């Protein structure tokens, strides 16, 4: 089945399930009202009727039935919520396929930084970004891991094995639509927004200690036991109510003394019991799936080997403790039953024992969950775009693509081109008229390099890529507040590109190394030095390009200045190549085919474009 057919079938099925659970919920709700009415009728018969014994039995039966219906209704609501969450998974997939994904809420705005080497120029985050197109995560750790994969500053010492492992995981997850649907649906039940588990992790890792020595534990157990024993058997030994009240007062005093710490731990850990239950369900799903990818299997093993019985068992144990703790929200329980049983204190003691046994492992569970969520997002993109190729990874720096297009453009509006940078020190000078496609080509090269390094498929028939470090200078923003002009802002970005190309290759300790490390600088410079006069622009641009290539950097530069294009004659070795785009003119109509051609552009359309928008310019040759 195609991706569209899969999503449409899933949407229909889940919508039907959600409607059925909604109808069942209404039926159970009406039954609850009816049982409640019968309960009050039975109570009325006790007070005013002739058969109080039978009425008491009827009231008890109604109470039991009402409690059972409450449980059934809660389960039905959860099934309905899960069906609706699964429905949204398929609706999001159809939105992707229809090209309407720019309206999706997840944009990754919080990951935008002005000083990143390429993220802003290549639309990695924000509206209409790579992140918005791909993100299918439902947890904070998953979102952050996906953002990290899409904004890597270099390839890392593990090249190319770490990327190959992610590629294999993406291929494994892409056809597992049912698994990805369940993972997304369970995550969506956590909250309407991706909750931040860090306060919980701080407690789990021991940064908020609670005194739970043997004496306190014994007190928490013995006082309630003594209270119950005296309340039940005290009269048999001729004891009055005074001992019971004394023990109850002692319990209250102990509870008041520890109330602040107990409340703080309860608030951090139990924000909602349903949230922990959903995390447990997500971990159970990860542990039960039979993966083929070595990376996914190793991640799965980290969950299974953690704690007493694995991550799922431990998180469900925590969920049970939190379920008991949630009883404190009932007013009757809080003021009478809870203090008598020292309920909060006993629950917190169980929580602290869980923390001592398991807390140090919990962060790794969230890391594993986030990693698989991020890979599942990339897999969803691969599933929806079967025409995209998985890039071929090489030990040596290279970037050679066939049929390369921009991954964020609709297929019916995208024009693909072949691009080749065989190795370090190779470059392209891209010339062309306005609006012809120069900037889009550079962004397509950068965006696909980003996807390739993340382990995702790329918008190309094929792509050979080696260890490269993407660095760009495209969008330049001045700053009135900081007193930075447009030209000076561009110089700062260009200096960063040059500085990175000057860095020696080192290992993790800073020693010289032949390993990939950060990777060869892969520069993409759009309309270089366009903020100054043409003479200085040409001189400066030529100097920058020469230095970058001489230091082994590789990349592309777009420009309108034909004075830069003859650099290929000055640099030996046939490493700098001129390519161009051009417009087609028929009468007063101008069109573009966005096809990349060899050589230098021979036409210009600035005056023609000015005329088309109503600005008449008289040529001096007229």
Domain boundaries, the chain: 1-98, 207-372, 392-612
* Secondary structure (3-state) at 409: coil
ω into 601 cis (within 30 of 0): no
Contact of 151 with 124, CB cutoff 8 Å:
yes
Contact of 139 with 369, CB cutoff 8 Å:
yes
Task: Report the chain's C-alpha Rg in angstroms.
Answer: 33
Instruction: Supply the pLDDT for residue 507.
Output: 42
Instruction: Supply the pLDDT for residue 445.
Output: 98
Chain segment 210-219, per-residue pLDDT in tens: 655 556 667 7
pTM: 0.85
Q: Assign residue 269 a region (left: φ > 0; alpha: ψ between -120 and 50; beta: otherwise).
A: alpha
Higher local confidence (pLDDT), 168 or 251:
168
One-character DSSP codes across 261-314:
HHHHHHHHHHS-HHHHHHHHHHHHHHHHS---SHHHHHHHHHHHTSTTT-HHHH
Question: How far, in Å, are 120, 531, 544 from residue 476 at the CA level?
Answer: 10, 10, 17
- For the four alpha carbons of 354, 360, 363 and 368, in that order, the dihedral sign comes to negative
Average pLDDT over residues 10-37: 93
Q: Please tell me the distance from the alpha carbon of residue 132 to that of residue 129, in angstroms, as a whole number.
A: 5
Q: Please tell me the distance from the alpha carbon of residue 186 to that of residue 369, in angstroms, as a whole number.
A: 12
Which pair of tokens denotes residue 16?
């039907």
Higher local confidence (pLDDT), 341 or 132:
132
Above pLDDT 90, what percent of the chain? 47
Please count the other Cβ atoms lying within 10 Å of the Cβ belonging to residue 15: 16
Which pair of tokens denotes residue 407?
């991954």
Topology of domain 392-612, CATH: Rossmann fold (3.40.50)
Q: How confident is the model at residue 330 (pLDDT cuts 50, 70, 90)?
A: low
Average pLDDT over residues 57-61: 76
pLDDT(605) > 60: no
Q: Give Cβ neighbours of residue 540 (< 8 Å, ≥ 6 apart).
A: 528, 529, 532
Q: How confident is the model at residue 484 (pLDDT cuts 50, 70, 90)?
A: low
């Amino acid at each position: 089945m195609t991706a569209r057919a899969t999503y449409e079938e899933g949407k229909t099925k889940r919508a039907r399930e959600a409607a059925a659970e909604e109808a069942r919920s209404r039926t159970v709700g009406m039954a609850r009202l009816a049982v409640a009415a019968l309960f009050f009728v039975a109570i009325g018969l006790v007070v005013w009727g002739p058969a109080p014994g039978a009425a008491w039995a009827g009231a008890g039966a109604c109470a039991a039935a009402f409690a059972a219906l409450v449980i059934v209704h809660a389960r039905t609501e959860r099934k309905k919520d899960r069906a609706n969450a699964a429905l949204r998974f398929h609706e999001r997939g159809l939105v992707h396929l229809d090209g309407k994904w720019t309206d999706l809420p997840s944009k990754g705005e919080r990951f935008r930084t002005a000083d990143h080497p390429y993220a802003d120029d290549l639309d990695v985050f924000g509206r209409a970004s790579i992140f918005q197109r791909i993100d299918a995560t439902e947890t904070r750790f998953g979102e952050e891991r996906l953002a990290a994969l899409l904004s890597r500053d270099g390839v890392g010492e593990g090249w190319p094995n770490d990327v190959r492992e992610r590629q294999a995981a993406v291929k494994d997850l892409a056809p597992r639509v049912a698994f990805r649907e369940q993972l997304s649906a369970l995550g969506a039940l956590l909250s309407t927004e991706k909750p931040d588990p860090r306060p919980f992790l701080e407690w789990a890792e021991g940064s908020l200690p609670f005194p739970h020595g043997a004496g306190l534990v014994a007190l928490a157990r013995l006082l309630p036991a003594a209270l119950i024993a005296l309340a039940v058997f005290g009269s048999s030994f001729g004891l009055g109510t005074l001992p019971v009240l004394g023990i109850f007062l002692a319990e209250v005093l102990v509870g008041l003394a520890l109330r602040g710490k107990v409340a703080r731990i309860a608030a951090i850990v139990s924000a909602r019991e349903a949230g922990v239950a959903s995390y447990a369900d997500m971990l159970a799903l990860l542990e039960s799936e039979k993966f083929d990818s070595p990376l996914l299997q190793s991640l799965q093993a980290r969950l299974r080997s953690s704690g007493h019985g694995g991550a799922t068992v431990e998180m469900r144990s925590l969920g049970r403790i939190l379920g008991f703790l949630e009883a404190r929200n009932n007013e009757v329980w809080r003021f009478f039953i809870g203090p008598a049983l020292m309920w909060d204190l006993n629950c917190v003691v169980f929580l602290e024992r869980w923390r001592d046994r398991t807390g140090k492992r919990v962060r790794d569970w969230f890391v594993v969950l986030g990693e698989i969520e991020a890979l599942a997002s990339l897999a969803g993109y691969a599933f929806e775009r079967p025409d995209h190729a998985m890039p071929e990874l090489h030990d040596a720096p290279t970037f050679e693509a066939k049929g390369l297009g921009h991954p964020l453009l609709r297929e019916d509006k995208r024009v693909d081109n072949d691009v080749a940078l065989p190795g370090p020190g190779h470059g392209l000078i891209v010339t062309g008229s306005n609006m012809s496609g120069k900037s889009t080509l550079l962004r397509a090269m950068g965006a696909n390099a980003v996807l390739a390094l993340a382990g995702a498929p790329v918008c190309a028939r094929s792509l050979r890529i080696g260890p490269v470090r993407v660095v760009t200078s495209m969008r330049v923003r001045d700053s009135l507040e900081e007193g930075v002009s447009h030209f000076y802002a561009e110089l700062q970005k260009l200096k960063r590109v040059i500085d990175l190309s000057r860095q020696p290759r080192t290992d993790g300790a800073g020693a010289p190394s032949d390993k990939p490390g950060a990777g060869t600088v892969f520069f993409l410079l759009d309309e270089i030095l366009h903020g100054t006069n043409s003479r200085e622009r040409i001189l400066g641009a030529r100097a920058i390009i020469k230095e970058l290539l001489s230091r082994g950097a590789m990349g592309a530069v777009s420009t309108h200045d034909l004075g830069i294009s003859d650099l290929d004659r000055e640099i030996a070795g046939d490493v700098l190549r001129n390519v161009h785009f051009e417009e087609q003119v028929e009468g007063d109509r101008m069109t573009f085919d966005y096809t990349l051609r060899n050589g230098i552009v021979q036409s210009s359309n600035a005056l023609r474009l000015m005329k088309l928008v109503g600005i008449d310019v008289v040529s001096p040759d007229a």
